[in-house]
């Protein structure tokens, strides 16, 4: 790997010399536990009397339920919708005009609308026995025509997923800024572009252990969840309980990626069952359930036209985007967040005078589409960046040049783009220039001209995106979904021995927040990172939060921790001044001590005095104490905009369809990095997922709505040998709106790779007349396209 | 993904194992390394009443050269071959194949007899051993019979094994000094099953060629007298004479309608031919 060439901004933080504060490349504290196999995940939880659940799931995509037959010997161990007295279906309604409401029954009633939909819940001492019972239950189903193709589903006369809707469209949106201004442009390129349906595939699947405490009158739900407070609200709504009667504990979580931000019907079912039965119950998602029934994402289709001048200047974009939303609107993000977002984020960091985008969120007989890392951005980046390469080809320009001509420039910051997205800061052209230089575009072009000895073709591709992160109330109130983030809260408490406890409502499932939030607190209070404990993942122990999603945790929870620690520090400073017998105005908090002209007193001594020797405090001491909860919002809550330019060099074998990534460069600007090591990890992980989107991952369906990749033998994920050692370069342009100038970076790594890799493959194959506009780019798709191009050439000749 | 209930036995000698299989009358399954059967049990794709674990049968673990051929017991693992612990008569050909089967963890436990018995069209041994001209011996209480590997595999996941019968050993003929060996496969990613396999054993001195096109939907295409792929005769200049049209026609005849699939298979076979070496 090359040396990092990113230039740190010239800012100094008070803790700069301690090596533990903001900007320190600290190894993750939690790895001591996680890397030694000492993590505690849902499946590790053992409770006395615990029994296991297996579900009877629909084998058909669309059918009317005529009967559910349970053998006599298993009555009492099998539960169906008829048993679920008083349980409401999951409703995730969007307030956007025209949104059609779906009700997702937690156990199917009337119809089943996707393969894998829950029909009955089977209880036994072990999962294997529960599966035996599930296998003994027979379903009498009247099969209905499956709605399996989102484009056909939009046509009149299609079978209907929700009969009373009259069509299959959850929501249609329209956005336009005078597209007519673009129509006369000399370059006009139109294509259809699509991204496959994928599965999120965290290492750990979902899992639930539910139990009820009669003394506390409280349901405790252990769940692998990113957003425990939101899960609690959703559960309370479905179960008809008070929120205080529910405690959601999310222990160690092995990757979320959006899959674990969703309220599951399984969570509702098990909650009901443990209260009914009086003993703990458990369901651990297996990989087949994960693939088939609960974690689909990404399926987009674009009809897109890009208008440009001969010099590559963008004149406008006209797009119709369709997203396959699946059968139900999932809680809390709804069925339309993905498609409707396409319209607002498609223009990305590019300037253009005209724009039109129409979007459709379409219901099909597939499992609900969930927001996967990058959410709509991966599809949008794929569509737009592939189109810009076609514009470049048409204009006879280098693809990088077309980007540089149209990217927002640093002197235009802050910048409101054509969809009124507010870009806080950054130098996008510089990121692109650095990526082009690092990949050595000139050398690749020279090498391409000479051809490859082994018959493979070299290609180089670039892409760039922006990632809106930590967008808050002003953005989400417009969506009208069940969850709108407001002020983020954190609690900070000095312990009697001078340690620091931080309580946050976000969760950490790979993000390293037990380390990075401690670094933020250290920056303010100077407490040794080793003495800071982060408490998260438990509604009973943490302040309310919408949780971890949308790359928001460092901006929001980091900001809240900083705010709470400042207030805590101020209280400690005032007590310290008393102990030093100084005027409070004359003492400062520095490196974990309150210092005055004649001496200093440590936070540890202050805490000890406050808790253990209050007799040493003067009578007029501030009674507020050493525990505070504070709320935080950035100065502007329209989101931080981080970004990265990606560049890939690939070798493509046109006869085998094999693609090898030879080199990969990422120039990333995530604002001020709290921990660059953690950021690197986030980017590498995102890149791996992006490579999956680009080349491997696909959940195909047949015409009866059957998912065809039901094991990891068919659903291919990239492994160690498929992920190259990417070269990273960081720029650090602070956000003017956040604490320390941080920006959210959690998702970016997964956004740009499909576009960069597809552009590289197309660059390699363009001389053969080949163009691939669909992810993943599989060997079969490459070879089929090569053969089609050869046939076209023959018939032309 | 938990198996349906089954009984489990781990006999200590082959005769006891064969008796158990005979008594199981079709509802018994043999497990050796369990690398294919394990997942199939968990997915409930197979629900045998009895699992006979043969991993304790010392008789099936030997590897010895006898009468000009290598006799590998069914329990020899891919890793035994990869690491050179098992004897070899193929001048490294089998070692090269073994080293690229799935992942090391699979190779540690997976056995050559199990791989053949499972008869997955995309697995390596059914193609590689057919190209090398290997035979298998099958044993039951009634006795022993032998047949070429290409006859043993009768369909996708379907072998010639009768109820109560077990693959006892694989017999691999000595590869002559003049025989060129080439083996190529295309996998979506490291360790995955191949979607195309080409295996060639070409002996220009003897004017003979065996060619296998594997990892198709059904049994591998095995051409034991492959002159037709080289313009009618096998000579020292066979590489430039390789005729892709003949290979393509073989695949079309095998029912592969998709032109891109055929093209990938032909390209992989061509690579095996081009890379073949003495």
The mean pLDDT of chain A is 95
- Fold match between domain A14-25+487-632 and domain A375-471+641-796: yes
Which chain B residue has the Cα nearest residue A791?
A: B259
**Residue among A271, A265, A273, A481 at smallest CA distance from A367:** A265
Q: Inter-chain contact B261–A132, Cβ cutoff 8 Å?
A: no
Q: Inter-chain contact A135–B4, Cβ cutoff 8 Å?
A: yes
Q: Which of A124-133, A463-472, A731-740, B19-28 has the lowest mean pLDDT?
A: B19-28
Mean pLDDT across the stretch A742-766?
A: 97
Q: Inter-chain contact A722–B259, Cβ cutoff 8 Å?
A: no
- Fold match between domain B58-173 and domain B180-275: no
d(CA A270, CA A79): 11
Residues B120-137 pLDDT 10s: 999 999 999 999 999 999
Please name the residue ranges forming H helices in A396-464.
399-406, 428-439, 441-450
Among B5, B104, B263, which would you mutate to test the A interface (most chain A Cβ atoms within 10 Å of its Cβ)? B263
- Give the per-residue SS3 of A52-75: EEEEEECCCCCEEEEEEECCHHHE
B93 min Cα distance to partner chain A (Å): 23
Interface of A with B in 439-458 (CB under 8 A): none
Contacts of B185 in chain A (CB under 8 A): none
| A783 in contact with chain B, both atoms CB, cutoff 8 A | yes
- Domain spanning A14-25+487-632, CATH class: alpha beta
- Assess if CATH 3.30.390.50 describes domain B180-275: yes
Q: Inter-chain contact B190–A787, Cβ cutoff 8 Å?
A: no
Residue segments in chain B with a per-residue pLDDT below the cut of 50:
none
Residues A488-519 pLDDT 10s: 999 999 999 999 999 999 999 999 999 999 99
Q: What is the third-level CATH fold of A375-471+641-796?
A: Aldehyde Oxidoreductase; domain 4 (3.30.365)
> Please, which residues bridge with residue B184 across strands?
B198
Question: Would you state the pLDDT for residue A17?
Answer: 59
Question: Would you state the pLDDT for residue A480?
Answer: 87
B46 min Cα distance to partner chain A (Å): 14
Interface of A with B in 79-138 (CB under 8 A): 126-128, 131-132, 135
Q: Inter-chain contact A719–B189, Cβ cutoff 8 Å?
A: yes
CB of A313 closer than 8 Å to CB of A185: no
Q: Inter-chain contact B189–A718, Cβ cutoff 8 Å?
A: yes
How many other CB atoms are found less than 10 A from the CB of residue A447?
Answer: 14
Contacts of B5 in chain A (CB under 8 A): 128, 132
Helix (H/G/I), strand (E/B), else coil: A480: coil
In eight-state DSSP terms, residue B4 is P
Burial-class residue B227 by CB neighbours within 10 Å (0-12, 13-18, 19+): middle
> Is a pLDDT exceeding 60 seen at residue A697?
yes
Residues A607-647 pLDDT 10s: 999 999 999 999 999 899 999 999 999 999 999 999 999 99
**Residue among A449, A300, A459 at smallest CA distance from A389:** A459
- Assess if CATH 3.40.50.300 describes domain B7-53: no
Radius of gyration of chain B (CA): 19
CB of A385 closer than 8 Å to CB of A463: yes
**Residue among A207, A767, A788, A27 at smallest CA distance from A449:** A767
β-pairing, B143-148 vs B153-155, is unpaired
Q: Which residue has the higher pLDDT, A160 or A6?
A: A160
Contacts of A287 in chain B (CB under 8 A): 1
Q: Inter-chain contact B264–A135, Cβ cutoff 8 Å?
A: no
Q: Inter-chain contact B4–A657, Cβ cutoff 8 Å?
A: no
| A715 in contact with chain B, both atoms CB, cutoff 8 A | no
A103 min Cα distance to partner chain B (Å): 29
The CATH code that applies to domain B58-173 is 3.30.465.10
Give the CA distances from residue B122 to residues A547, A714, B107, B118, in Å, rounded to whole numbers and listed in that order.
Answer: 45, 13, 16, 11
d(CA B227, CA B235): 9
Q: How long is chain A?
A: 797
Q: Inter-chain contact B267–A656, Cβ cutoff 8 Å?
A: yes
Question: Would you state the pLDDT for residue A18?
Answer: 78
Exposure letters B59-73 (e unless 16+ CB within 10 A, then b)? bbbebeeeeebbbbb
Nearest to A783 among B39, B191, B264 (CB): B264
Residues A276-317 pLDDT 10s: 999 999 999 999 999 999 889 999 999 999 999 999 999 999
> Please, which residues bridge with residue A359 across strands?
A173, A321
Question: Would you state the pLDDT for residue A115?
Answer: 98
A449: pLDDT confidence band, cut at 50, 70 and 90?
Answer: confident
Per-domain boundaries in chain A: 14-25+487-632, 375-471+641-796
Percentage of chain A modeled with pLDDT above 90: 95
Nearest to B5 among A132, A721, A780 (CB): A132
Nearest to A783 among B3, B189, B263 (CB): B263
CB of B35 closer than 8 Å to CB of B109: yes
Q: Give just the sign of the alpha carbon dihedral A158, A161, A163, A166.
A: negative
Q: Inter-chain contact B188–A288, Cβ cutoff 8 Å?
A: no
Among A783, A788, A791, which would you mutate to test the B interface (most chain B Cβ atoms within 10 Å of its Cβ)? A783
Per-domain boundaries in chain B: 7-53, 58-173, 180-275
């Amino acid at each position: 790997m090359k040396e990092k060439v990113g230039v740190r901004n010239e800012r100094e933080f008070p803790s700069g010399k301690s090596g533990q504060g903001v900007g320190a490349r600290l190894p993750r504290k939690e790895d001591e536990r996680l890397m030694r196999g000492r993590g505690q995940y849902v499946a590790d939880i053992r409770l006395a009397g615990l029994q296991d659940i297996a579900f009877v799931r629909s084998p058909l995509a669309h059918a009317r339920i005529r009967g559910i037959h349970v053998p006599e010997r298993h009555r009492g161990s099998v539960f169906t919708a008829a048993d679920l007295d008083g349980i409401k279906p999951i409703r995730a309604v969007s307030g956007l005009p025209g949104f059609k409401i779906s009700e997702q029954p937690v156990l199917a009633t009337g119809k089943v609308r996707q393969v894998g939909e829950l029909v009955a819940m089977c209880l036994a001492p072990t999962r294997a026995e529960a599966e035996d019972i599930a296998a003994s239950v027979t379903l009498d189903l009247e099969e209905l025509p499956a709605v399996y193709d989102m484009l056909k589903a939009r046509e009149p006369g299609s079978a209907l997923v929700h009969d009373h809707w009259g069509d299959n469209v959850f929501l249609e949106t329209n956005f336009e800024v005078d597209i007519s201004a673009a129509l006369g442009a000399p370059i006009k390129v139109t294509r259809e572009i699509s991204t496959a349906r994928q599965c999120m595939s965290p290492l750990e699947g979902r899992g639930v252990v539910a139990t009820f405490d009669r003394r506390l009158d409280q349901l405790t739900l252990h769940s692998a969840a990113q957003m425990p407070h939101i899960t609690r609200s959703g559960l309370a709504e479905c179960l008809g309980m008070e929120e205080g009667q529910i405690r959601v504990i999310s222990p160690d979580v092995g990757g979320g990626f959006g899959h674990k931000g969703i309220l599951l019907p399984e969570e509702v079912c098990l909650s009901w069952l443990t209260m009914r039965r009086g003993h703990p119950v458990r369901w651990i998602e297996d990989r087949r359930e994960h693939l088939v029934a609960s974690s689909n994402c990404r399926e987009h289709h674009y009809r897109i036209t890009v208008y440009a001048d001969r010099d590559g200047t963008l004149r406008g974009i006209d797009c119709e985007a369709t997203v396959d939303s699946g059968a139900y609107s999932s809680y809390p993000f709804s069925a339309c967040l993905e498609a409707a977002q396409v319209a607002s984020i498609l223009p990305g960091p590019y300037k253009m005078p005209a724009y039109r985008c129409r979007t459709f969120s379409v219901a099909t007989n597939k499992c609900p589409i969930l927001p996967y890392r990058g959410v709509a951005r991966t599809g949008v980046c794929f569509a737009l960046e592939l189109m810009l390469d076609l514009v470049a080809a048409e204009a006879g320009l280098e693809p990088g040049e077309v980007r540089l001509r149209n990217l927002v420039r640093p002197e235009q910051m802050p910048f409101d783009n054509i969809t009124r997205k507010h870009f806080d800061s950054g130098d996008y052209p510089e990121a692109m220039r650095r990526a082009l230089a690092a990949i050595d575009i000139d050398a690749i072009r020279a090498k391409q001209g000479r051809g490859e000895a082994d018959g493979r073709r070299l290609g180089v591709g670039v892409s760039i995106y922006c990632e809106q992160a930590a967008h808050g109330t002003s953005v989400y109130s417009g969506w009208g979904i069940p969850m709108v983030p407001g002020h983020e809260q954190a609690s900070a408490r000095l312990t009697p021995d001078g340690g620091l406890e931080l309580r946050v409502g976000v969760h950490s499932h790979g993000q390293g927040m037990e380390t990075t939030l401690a670094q933020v607190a250290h920056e303010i209070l100077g407490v040794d990172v080793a003495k800071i404990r982060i408490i998260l993942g438990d509604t009973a122990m943490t302040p309310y939060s919408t949780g971890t999603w949308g790359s928001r945790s460092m901006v929001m929870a980091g900001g809240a921790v900083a705010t709470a620690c400042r207030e805590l520090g101020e209280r400690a400073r005032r007590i310290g001044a008393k102990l030093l017998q100084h005027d409070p105005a004359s003492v400062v908090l520095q490196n974990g001590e309150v210092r005055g002209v004649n001496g200093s007193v440590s936070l540890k001594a202050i805490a000890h005095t406050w808790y253990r020797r209050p007799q040493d405090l003067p009578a007029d001491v501030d009674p507020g104490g050493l525990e505070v909860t504070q709320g935080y919002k950035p100065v502007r809550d329209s989101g931080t905009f981080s970004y990265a330019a990606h560049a890939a060099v690939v070798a493509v074998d046109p006869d085998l369809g094999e693609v090898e990534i030879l080199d990969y460069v990422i120039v990333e600007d995530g604002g001020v990095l709290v921990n660059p090591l953690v950021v690197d990890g986030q980017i590498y992980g995102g890149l791996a997922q992006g490579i999956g989107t680009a080349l491997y991952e696909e959940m195909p369906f047949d015409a009866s709505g059957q998912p065809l990749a039901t094991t990891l033998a068919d659903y291919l994920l990239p492994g160690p040998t498929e992920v190259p050692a990417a070269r990273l370069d960081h720029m650090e342009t602070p956000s003017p709106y956040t604490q320390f100038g941080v920006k959210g970076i959690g998702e970016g790594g997964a956004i740009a790779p499909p576009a960069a890799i597809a552009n590289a493959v197309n660059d390699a194959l363009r001389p053969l007349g080949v163009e691939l506009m669909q992810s993943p780019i599989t060997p079969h798709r490459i070879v089929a396209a090569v053969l089609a191009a050869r046939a076209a050439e023959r018939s032309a000749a | 993904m938990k198996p349906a209930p089954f009984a489990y036995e781990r006999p200590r000698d082959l005769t006891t194992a064969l008796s158990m299989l005979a008594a199981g009358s079709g509802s018994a399954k043999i497990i050796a390394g369990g690398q294919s059967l394990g997942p199939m049990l968990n997915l409930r794709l197979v629900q045998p009443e009895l699992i006979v674990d043969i991993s304790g049968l010392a008789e099936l673990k030997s590897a010895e050269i006898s009468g000009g051929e290598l006799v590998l017991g069914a329990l020899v693992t891919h890793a035994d071959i990869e690491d050179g612990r098992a004897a070899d008569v193929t001048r490294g050909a089998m070692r090269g194949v073994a080293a690229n089967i799935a992942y090391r963890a699979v190779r540690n436990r997976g056995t050559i007899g199990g791989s053949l018995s499972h008869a997955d069209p995309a697995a390596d041994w059914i193609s590689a051993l057919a190209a090398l001209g290997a035979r298998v011996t099958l044993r039951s209480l009634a006795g022993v019979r032998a047949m070429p590997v290409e006859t043993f595999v009768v369909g996708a996941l379907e072998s010639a094994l009768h109820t109560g019968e077990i693959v006892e050993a694989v017999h691999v003929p000595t590869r002559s000094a003049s025989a060129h060996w080439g083996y190529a496969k295309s996998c979506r990613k490291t360790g995955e099953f191949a979607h195309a396999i080409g295996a060639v054993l070409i002996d220009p001195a003897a004017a003979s060629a065996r060619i296998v096109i594997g990892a198709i939907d059904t049994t591998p295409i095995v051409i034991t007298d492959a002159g037709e792929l080289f313009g009618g005769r096998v000579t020292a200049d066979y590489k430039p004479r390789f005729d892709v049209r003949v290979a393509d026609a073989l695949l079309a005849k095998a029912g592969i309608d998709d032109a891109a699939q055929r093209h990938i298979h032909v390209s992989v076979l061509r690579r095996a031919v081009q890379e073949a070496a003495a």
